[in-house]
Structure 1
Amino acid sequence: MTSLLELSGISKSFDGFQAINNLSLQIGEPELRAVIGPNGAGKTTFMDIITGKTKPDTGTILFGDDNRSLIGMSESDIASLGIGRKFQKPTVFEAQTVRENLAMALKNPRGPFSVLFYRKTKDGAARLDSIAEEINLTDHLQRPAGELSHGQKQWLEIGMLLAQSPRLLLVDEPAAGMTAHEREHTTDILKRAAQTCAVIVVEHDMEFVRRLNCKVTVLHEGSVLAEGSLDHVTKNPTVIDVYLGRTDAGH
């Protein structure tokens, strides 16, 4: 497995608070990785830095086959390299049908204006149907997205990101607010996606992480505290002390 994303010595402070502290991390392609840690561990800032929303104070971020530096690139330029991000709250076009949402996302090349020039093609239609099947929404293609359940909206948004053929997908707490059945199907979607691209899942729900069955990175005070299988990291005394022993862990 080749390295797709490499963070080295990344640090970021906000008004004296050290959000990220000398963070180094490597993600392969393809790979599924879960990132866990207590509140304030730096998980959101970590994603903000990768996507260009926040500029680190120090360190390097290299991406892709040519080890391109992401530092100093705009959010839109980073997105155009194939880095997609899904926030906790689903953002879909509620008045449009599921099919129209997916069609708008099937833009190639990536860019804000290509959506306006989207043309129906046989290839596009086949790809759209394939994504709809992957996200369990084939029977809902004609429904307005606003009618979907919370979990189905999450799947649609993941599908919209997959439609853009990302190389790296950042997914923030996908299990939040989902039913047990929806959570189970979401793990399947993410595991399948990780067969063709790198997927980083930031999550609090330990059962959800267990079902992902992937390598886990534990963040604490902006640094990597432990890394390995979920069983391995949850037996680490320091992880137990700073995260698992707390009442907020898993919620």
Structure 2
Amino acid sequence: MTLLEVSGVSVTFDGFRAINNLSIAIGEPELRAVIGPNGAGKTTFMDIVTGKTRPDEGRVLWGELSTDLVKLSESQIAKAGIGRKFQKPTVFEDQTVRANLSMALKNKRGPFAVLAWKAGAADNARIVDLAAEVGLADRLDHRAGDLSHGQKQWLEIGMLLAQDPRLLLVDEPAAGMTPAEREHTTDLLKRAAQTRAVVVIEHDMDFIRRLDCRVTVLHEGSVLAEGSLDHVTQNQQVIDVYLGR
């Protein structure tokens, strides 16, 4: 089933066309990698899907009802089931891993509900499960600021998974990680994509190869090629504009 369909989307910034008649379809579940040279439109694509940037034309259709995300606010899009992880991890460093995951759980978020809310047995079990899922089971009561860079990345992914998104957008997760951390991150994203859509922007081609998924190559705001990594890396246009650099 197609979960997200970006159709004929274009956006211009100060005369520069960052996205040019872009069309991409993402299934559910699916793991997809998006690659391309700097300025290809990768981050702008994520900005459009999450409502941070409004396109000049085109539609971004979501879910079974084909809701046009262009007409929704950023908060409405997040509530619809789209989570985004930026390159730099954003966690509450003075709080424990447990507290970070607890705050991220999908519960009522009104001001009075937050003040009155306390984690119940089911919530605590979910927190333990999330910590295990991202590889932080033995760090639950550690301060998030004391985690390594890679562990902070995993915590943020866990916080997004706590919201139970149908689509997870992840920007350059391998940046700054050790080889062992990159391997763990690969496994984490592949597991997450068994039950939801996961879109990964990444420059590390070894990391992309380990993901073993469909790859979309962007160039000048459009799709240049799409298919397996072996398929797109043998495309002469991809070699000329990206791999040959």
CA distance 1:102–1:223, change in 2 (3 Å): same
CA distance 1:178–1:105, change in 2 (3 Å): same
Aligned-partner residue type, residue 54 of structure 1: T
Aligned-partner residue type, residue 209 of structure 2: R
Aligned-partner residue type, residue 196 of structure 1: T
Q: Residue deviations 1:25-78, cap 9 Å, x none?
A: 100001100000000000010000000000000001100111111013111110
Structure 2 match to 1:232: 231
Structure 1: gaps of 5 or more residues: 247-251
Q: Give structure 1 regions of 4+ aligned residues with deviation exceeding 6 angstroms.
A: none
Structure 2 match to 1:249: none
Question: Retained in 1: the 8 A contact 2:69–2:77?
Answer: yes
Question: Retained in 1: the 8 A contact 2:51–2:70?
Answer: yes
Structure 1 match to 2:2: 3
Question: Retained in 2: the 8 A contact 1:107–1:115?
Answer: no
Structure 1 match to 2:206: 207
CA distance 1:116–1:234, change in 2 (3 Å): farther
Structure 1 match to 2:66: 67
Q: Residue deviations 1:193-242, cap 9 Å, x none?
A: 10111000000000000000000000000000000000000000000000
Question: Retained in 2: the 8 A contact 1:187–1:211?
Answer: yes
Q: Residue deviations 1:84-114, cap 9 Å, x none?
A: 00000000000000000000001325x4645
| Aligned ranges 1:1-251 → 2 under 5 Å | 2-109=1-108, 111=109, 113=111, 115-246=114-245
Question: Retained in 2: the 8 A contact 1:104–1:118?
Answer: no
- Deviation (angstroms), 1:117: 4.2
- Give, in whole Å, the separation in 1 of the partners of 2:63 and 2:141: 37
- Give, in whole Å, the separation in 1 of the partners of 2:107 and 2:37: 38
- Give, in whole Å, the separation in 1 of the partners of 2:114 and 2:225: 42
Aligned-pair identity (%): 71
- Give, in whole Å, the separation in 1 of the partners of 2:180 and 2:22: 35
- Give, in whole Å, the separation in 1 of the partners of 2:94 and 2:124: 21
SS at match of 1:11: strand
Moved more, 19-28 or 113-122: 113-122
- Give, in whole Å, the separation in 2 of the partners of 1:116 and 1:211: 43
Number of corresponding residues: 244
CA distance 1:123–1:9, change in 2 (3 Å): same
CA distance 1:223–1:119, change in 2 (3 Å): same
- Give, in whole Å, the separation in 2 of the partners of 1:234 and 1:134: 32
For normalisation by structure 2, the TM-score amounts to 0.97
Question: Retained in 2: the 8 A contact 1:43–1:219?
Answer: yes
